[in-house]
A and B are shown apart, each in its own frame.
Chain A
């Protein structure tokens, strides 16, 4: 997908040579909770059917209590991702309102995954009310409203801090424009609320303006969050690439996913300074876990994004084509897509197509 961009943005380090020249690469696999294990198994099966030169190293990221009493990701998992620099992750559970801090956030902080890329494209064969959606949302991934800094100043008054820094904003702005250029996109829309949050979103906006000067061939426009929400549901074809701070990105990327058919079909990649983790963004769906009803498409398409990042484009195209064909044919679709098929049948069908192509 944007393999050229990713290559340029990765700092040259001693492990880079391994990534480039080794014949079989190892990828960290985080199966996740709920339906995570079954869809990860499905992806592994499809990859072996396509004979992709990848070894999987599964790790568990369930938080353990560290010596300081705080919960954190186990060291084994951190070492694995740092070594291999590429990860594929299934859905992780975050309890609401209490308990340990979101694991997704912890992973992002740990590996400096500063940008989240979510391409939302209408799928041939799965019709929604919106046709011809082709939007990429790029969202700042480490700070903003999700910095997790909250406190109760006096009983009944809670303050939550939204943090915007110049470094993080410049980083994601540069990435967004580079991505647009590398993928032949013509326009980047900066989504903000600088009329209300003048300093914070104002800083983000300024960084985006600076970044856009370095890419004069890419058109830039600035829009308020409310306007984008309003017009996105009326006519999504007017948007191309969107770049925005954390919270707006979260909401808008889910909104765009809803336009094309939901989180069960949307891939997502988190790009960091030292590597990337690709993930499926749907929930853990505990109600259907273990019943062979899960839809592995999101994780599969994220794995395809990963292959393109690793410059294994031929395998990526093969698997993606097979997956789209099976969805288009429509007789092995899982429950969330309106079919009655099982996860295993869906997976086997894709394997069949991959082997025969």
Chain B
């Protein structure tokens, strides 16, 4: 079931009369989805800056920021480059390494500027080795700074992989910038620490609308809100109330809600009852990981982070994989899936479809599995198989 699935293009480009391509400041990607952008009063958005920068497509070739991150990130990125090279994909990567042990945020700021310039990025998991509580997690900083307010993880089972449940098809839509990841903590007195979880109506509204619109566009029937409003009455209560309000505007789509602990129990015993799930940040992390575990592990699925102006693609479970770095046993499929998502986003549909078919064939037909899937193959074996398939397709 890892075949081609429709994707939302948040970055539709318009041509100005001079012939170049400019991005319009109004987030019309969302307008094309029928979502009216919420007036941007409060959060940091640089839409007014983007108006004057052309989006990075020059001479028919796209430029995409590449953030390898740590652990297995660099090797997976090299595989993506190889595959793109053999398939003749018109994408150039602007690689921005971020030094994990450096406390200064220079690399991070350069990376963010690069993504603003290019509009799209492919990302591994960035390590933040600093122990100082003042240094914010770099992954979180990127998401918050670029206002990538939603993370979408489309989880489908692979028929060629042994797992306890088959035919799982769940879309996890997760709020990506606030909630428990607001990263505002302080120690009031010694030994007493407070950590703030922030939930706003605007962000909840955006995410809920995205989820329902996604469901509508892709013919999904049901959206489930996951929350813990019995305990966190105000914060998750607000999130739930907003989801219910948005649900009323989509009468064709069924809406129900479930408490997170019950949800985890149900996922483990009967994941087929879920269709699209929408939830705040932390629960999204938990649910994504549980579903990835049910399907076959961290090495398979890809996650998409969307904002009004930018899109960042990464492996779904955001693991660094330091333990297996450099050993040629990391599973490259999640990064390949992210690359396919990127290709869809850049509207290179042919290449996207071929890459998905290559992944499908490798995992389900040829069954070339790395050790995390119970096989004996190396990462290079998987990549070579994909390259062979792509070469054959691009010859025609």
A interface residues (Cβ-Cβ under 8 A, vs B): 94-98, 102, 105, 128-130, 145-146, 148, 150-152, 155-167, 193, 195-200, 202-203, 225-227, 229-234, 247, 250-255, 257-259, 262-263
Contact = CB atoms under 8 A, between A and B. Distances in A.
Nearest to A233: B293
A165 B190 CA distance: 9
A97 to B, nearest CB: 4
A257 B234 contact: no
A157 B164 contact: no
A166 B191 contact: yes
Given A158-B198, A162-B195, A165-B191, A202 B133 contact: yes
Contacts of B238: 156, 158
B293 A229 contact: yes
B175 to A, nearest CB: 13
A129 B164 contact: yes
Given A157-B201, A199-B186, A105 B231 contact: yes
A145 to B, nearest CB: 7
A97 B237 contact: yes
26 contacts: A94-B230, A97-B240, A98-B233, A98-B237, A102-B231, A145-B232, A157-B201, A159-B235, A160-B235, A163-B192, A163-B193, A166-B191, A195-B137, A197-B180, A199-B186, A200-B185, A226-B318, A229-B286, A229-B290, A233-B290, A251-B260, A251-B261, A251-B264, A258-B264, A258-B268, A259-B268
A255 B293 CA distance: 13
Nearest to A246: B231
Nearest to A163: B194
A97 B289 CA distance: 27
Interface in B265-308: 265-269, 282, 285-286, 288-290, 292-294, 297-298
Nearest to A235: B293
Interface in B177-198: 180-181, 183, 185-187, 190-198
A152 B234 contact: yes
Interface of A, helix, strand, loop or mixed by DSSP: mixed
Contacts of A156: 200-202, 238
Nearest to A234: B293
Given A156-B202, A262-B265, A97 B290 contact: no
B258 to A, nearest CB: 11
A251 B262 CA distance: 8
B378 interface: no
A130 B163 CA distance: 11
Nearest to A260: B268
A253 B264 CA distance: 10
Given A128-B269, A199-B187, A161 B237 contact: no
A199 B195 CA distance: 8
B390 to A, nearest CB: 30
Contacts, number: 175
A72 B264 CA distance: 31
Most buried by B among A98, A156, A250, A257: A156
B128 A195 contact: yes
Given A97-B237, A233-B290, A166 B192 contact: yes
B352 interface: no
Given A128-B269, A150-B235, A156-B201, A255 B195 contact: no
B372 to A, nearest CB: 9
Contacts of B318: 226
A213 to B, nearest CB: 18
A160 B268 contact: no
Contacts of A253: 261
A232 B290 CA distance: 8
Q: Sort A-B residue pairs by CB-CB distance and give the 9 closest, nearest first.
A: A258-B265, A166-B191, A254-B261, A156-B201, A233-B293, A150-B234, A258-B268, A229-B289, A199-B185
B22 interface: no
A128 B165 CA distance: 12
Given A199-B195, A262-B265, A97 B233 contact: yes
Nearest to A97: B237
A189 to B, nearest CB: 15
A105 B165 CA distance: 35
Given A97-B230, A159-B199, A200-B185, 19 more contacts: A94-B230, A102-B231, A156-B200, A156-B238, A160-B197, A162-B197, A164-B192, A164-B193, A196-B183, A198-B185, A200-B194, A202-B133, A226-B286, A226-B319, A251-B260, A251-B264, A254-B262, A255-B261, A258-B269
B140 A196 contact: yes
